[in-house]
Homo-oligomer: A and B are copies of this chain.
Amino acid sequence: MTAKETPRGTEKRCPVSIVTDFGTADPYVGIMKGVMLTINSQAVLVDVSHDVSPGAIREGAFILGASWPFFPPGTVHLAVVDPGVGTGRAPVVLAAGGHFFVGPDNGLFTLLLDAFPGASAWRLEAGAYRLPRVSATFHGRDLFAPAAAWLSRGVPPSAFGSRIPSLVRLPRAVPEPIPGGLEGAICHVDRFGNLVTNIEAGVISRGRWTVRLAGETMALHRTYGDVASGRFLALIGSFGYLEVSVNGGSAAGRLGVGVGERVVLAQESQD
């Protein structure tokens, strides 16, 4: 395709998932939705989260990485956590795993890049796929929402601009082996106060394990109801990672810990 071609695609049903740090009180998300429906009236807009902490790229990356695999192939994922709006960071579209991802190149796509190292990305350059006037402070409205809507019409990502050889990847804390186990960290706290660690289910071999966190020691169980109400437990959570929870309560509240706290997974001695 030459640079002169500007394919328009056709209006059609296509899910567009949305992750932002815009909150739901201000009109920012509604404005992006209006922009998208103006371009593709058939787009199926799905809020994933707008409550990413302001400017928290790593948190946005986690939400995006956890949710996209459950959408149908061809879904467009619009992710805008963009503290560097209007500066040099590139606005991009990424094609990975049969899905499309639109947002700023600031590390938001780290989990995608980890999973699909060979994924292709393009810079959002073409004037045909943005609003006529692009502000310096709201690229979600002016660049990213229009790009997501044009993608949802079937415009190929290569039509948006030039290839970018590599995107920004945030360093990820990985669990470290220690004698008899692993030392990891809390990487997400959910609404229930469940503490999600960075220790993947796959690394936990058969055997009996205990988990130590903030002075508490708990056994590994299958689900919350396996312990009495109000008791601590560890389990493999729905994200596929080790979690620390309280049955019927908030582990985060009870332990007073949050993201970054160290957690130890240790195999019980066999004596």
Interface residues in A100-142 by Cβ distance below 8 A to B read 135-138, 141
12 additional A-B residue pairs with CB within 8 Å, beyond A31-B67, A41-B44? A26-B63, A26-B190, A26-B191, A29-B47, A32-B70, A38-B72, A47-B47, A55-B248, A84-B224, A85-B225, A87-B223, A137-B235
Q: Which of the 9-residue segments A17-25, A178-186, A254-262 touches chain B?
A: A17-25
Q: Is A165 located at the chain interface by the 8 A CB criterion?
A: no
Interface residues in A47-86 by Cβ distance below 8 A to B read 47-52, 54-55, 63, 66-68, 70-72, 75, 83-86
Q: Is A33 located at the chain interface by the 8 A CB criterion?
A: yes
**Closest B residue to A69 using CB positions:** B34
Q: Which B residues are CB-close (under 8 A) to A84?
A: 224-225
Cβ A136 vs Cβ B223 within 8 A = yes
Q: Is A30 located at the chain interface by the 8 A CB criterion?
A: yes
Interface residues in A217-251 by Cβ distance below 8 A to B read 222-226, 235-238, 248, 250
Q: How large is the interface on A (under 10, 10 to 19, 20 to 34, 35 or more residues)?
A: 35 or more
Cβ B37 vs Cβ A24 within 8 A = no
What are 16 A-B residue pairs whose CB atoms fall within 8 Å in the complex?
A: A24-B24, A24-B51, A25-B191, A26-B63, A26-B190, A27-B49, A29-B47, A30-B48, A37-B71, A41-B72, A47-B47, A54-B192, A55-B248, A85-B223, A87-B223, A138-B237
The main secondary structure of chain A at its interface with chain B is loop
Q: Is A46 located at the chain interface by the 8 A CB criterion?
A: yes
**Closest B residue to A41 using CB positions:** B13
| Cα separation A84 to B224 with both chains bound (whole Å) | 7
Interface readout for A200-230 with B: 1 if CB under 8 Å, 0 if not?
0000000000000000000000111110000
| Cα separation A138 to B190 with both chains bound (whole Å) | 13
Q: Is A45 located at the chain interface by the 8 A CB criterion?
A: yes
Cβ B48 vs Cβ A45 within 8 A = no
Closest chain B CB from A111 CB (angstroms): 12
Q: Is A157 located at the chain interface by the 8 A CB criterion?
A: no
